[in-house]
C-alpha cells in the first residue's frame, strides 16, 4: 500500500509545469504507480484549465463549451504501452523489474550493476541534462550505511519494501529528504527492494566505519 505521496503543492506545481525537472520526473513515475495521485493530477489539471479559460472571451458561439468538454474528457495518449517487455524493465541476477512508464526511456541509459557493500547493488543511470540517478537494489538483509544528505535525495520504491528508522516504505512510495534527515535504509523483505534514487550532492555517512568513506562518497552516490 502506498503511503508516501507528493504534497498537494508539489502536484499543483507539477501539473502547472513549474516543478524542478528531476522532481517532475519522480512525480510522474510515482503517478504511474499511484491511481490516487494520477486522479489528483487530472483534477488539478481540470481546475487549472478552467482558471486559464476564465480569461478567454465567451462569445465563441454555443458549440465552444461542448468542444472544450470533449477535449477535457479525451483519453490520455497511450505513451509507451507498445514497448517490449525488455524495454520496459531492468534485470539483475535473473530478476526482472517492470518500471513505471516515466522511467522506461532510461532503460537503455542504465549502466551495469556493481556490488557496493554487503548485499547492496547499484546501477547508474545517465539522464542527460537532468544529471545522474541510480537504481539501488538491497537484497534481504542489505542496507545502506546510516547517512544524512548534503543536498536532496529523491527516492521512489520500484519493487519490494524497506525501512530506514523513520518509516516503512512499500512499492510506489516517494520520499524527498535533505540535511534535516538521518536514516539507515535496509530491507528485510524476502524479495529485497529496488529503488530509483536521485541525489544532487553526495551522501554524508554518520555512523561506524562508513564515516571513513565520506571523502569518497561521490564515487558511490552522485
Same domain flag for 57 and 118? no
Q: Do the domain assignments include residue 170?
A: yes
Q: pLDDT per residue over 167-201, tens digit each?
A: 999 999 999 988 688 888 999 999 999 999 998 87
Q: Does the residue 116 lie in any domain?
A: yes
Torsion from C-alpha of 81, 34, 17, 200, nearest 10 degrees: -100
Cβ 197 vs Cβ 154: under 8 Å: yes
Residue in 69, 37, 29 with CA at minimum distance from that of residue 53: 69
Which comes out higher in pLDDT, residue 54 or 37? 37
- pLDDT tens-digit map of 92-149: 988 999 999 999 999 999 999 999 878 999 999 998 888 789 999 999 999 888 878 7
Do 60 and 151 share a domain, yes or no? no
Residue 204 has pLDDT above 80, yes or no: no
- Do 114 and 165 lie in one domain? The reply is yes
Do 123 and 213 fall within a single domain? Answer: yes
37 has pLDDT over 60: yes
Through-space distance between the first and last CA atoms of the chain, rounded to whole angstroms: 29
As for how many domains the chain has, the answer is 2
Does residue 168 lie in a domain region? yes
Structure confidence at residue 87 (pLDDT):
79
Residue 27 DSSP symbol = H
Q: Residue 79 has which C-alpha cell?
A: 505513451
58-81 pLDDT, tens digit per residue, is: 454 555 455 445 444 444 433 333
**Dist CA 205 CA 210 (whole Å):** 6
CATH code, domain with 117: 2.60.120.10
177 and 112 share one domain: yes
- On whether both 107 and 50 belong to a single domain, the answer is no
Give the end of a domain, one of 40, 73, 106: 73
Q: CA 36, CA 57: separation in Å to the nearest integer?
A: 34
Same domain, 178 and 208: yes
Query: CB–CB of 214/220 below 8 Å?
Result: no
Q: Which region among 14-23, 76-85, 87-96 has the lowest average model confidence (pLDDT)?
A: 76-85
Query: In this structure, is residue 81 part of a structural domain?
Result: no
CA distance 140 to 96: 17
Same domain, 106 and 215: yes
Quote the domain boundaries for residue 166. 89-219
Has residue 98 been placed in a domain? yes
Same domain (yes/no): 125, 59: no
pLDDT exceeds cutoff 60 at 55: no
- Listed as own residue / partner, the contacts of 10-15 with beta carbons closer than 8 Å and 24 or more positions apart are 11/37, 11/40, 11/41, 11/44, 12/44, 14/41, 15/41, 15/44, 15/45, 15/48
Question: Domain for residue 78, yes or no?
Answer: no
114 phi and psi, to 5 degrees? -140, 145
Is residue 65 domain-shared with residue 108, that is, in the same domain? no
The grid coordinates of residue 90 equal: 531492468
Same domain (yes/no): 39, 93: no
Q: Is residue 82, in this structure, part of any structural domain at all? A: no
| Structural domain ending residue among the three candidates 20, 43, 73 | 73
pTM (2 d.p.): 0.78
Amino acid at each position: 500500500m502506498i503511503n508516501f505521496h507528493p504534497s498537494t503543492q508539489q502536484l499543483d506545481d507539477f501539473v502547472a509545469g513549474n516543478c524542478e525537472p528531476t522532481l517532475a520526473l519522480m512525480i510522474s513515475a510515482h503517478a504511474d504507480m499511484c491511481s490516487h495521485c494520477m486522479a489528483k493530477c487530472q483534477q488539478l489539471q481540470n481546475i487549472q484549465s478552467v482558471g486559464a479559460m476564465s480569461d478567454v472571451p465567451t462569445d465563441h458561439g454555443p458549440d465552444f463549451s461542448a468542444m472544450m468538454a470533449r477535449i477535457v474528457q479525451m483519453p490520455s495518449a497511450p505513451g509507451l504501452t507498445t514497448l517490449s517487455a525488455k524495454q520496459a524493465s531492468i534485470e539483475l541476477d535473473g530478476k526482472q523489474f517492470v518500471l513505471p512508464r516515466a522511467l522506461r526511456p532510461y532503460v537503455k541509459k542504465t549502466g551495469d550493476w556493481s556490488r557496493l557493500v554487503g548485499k547492496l547493488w547499484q546501477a547508474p543511470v545517465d539522464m542527460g541534462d537532468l544529471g545522474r540517478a541510480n537504481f539501488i537494489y538491497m537484497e534481504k538483509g542489505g542496507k545502506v550505511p546510516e547517512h544524512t544528505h548534503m543536498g536532496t535525495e529523491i527516492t521512489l520504491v520500484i519493487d519490494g519494501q524497506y525501512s530506514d528508522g523513520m518509516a516503512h516504505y512499500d512499492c510506489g512510495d516517494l520520499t524527498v529528504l535533505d540535511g534535516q534527515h538521518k536514516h539507515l535504509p535496509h530491507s528485510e523483505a524476502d524479495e529485497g527492494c529496488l529503488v530509483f534514487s536521485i541525489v544532487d550532492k553526495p551522501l554524508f555517512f554518520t555512523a561506524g566505519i562508513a564515516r571513513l568513506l565520506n571523502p569518497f562518497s561521490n564515487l558511490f552516490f552522485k
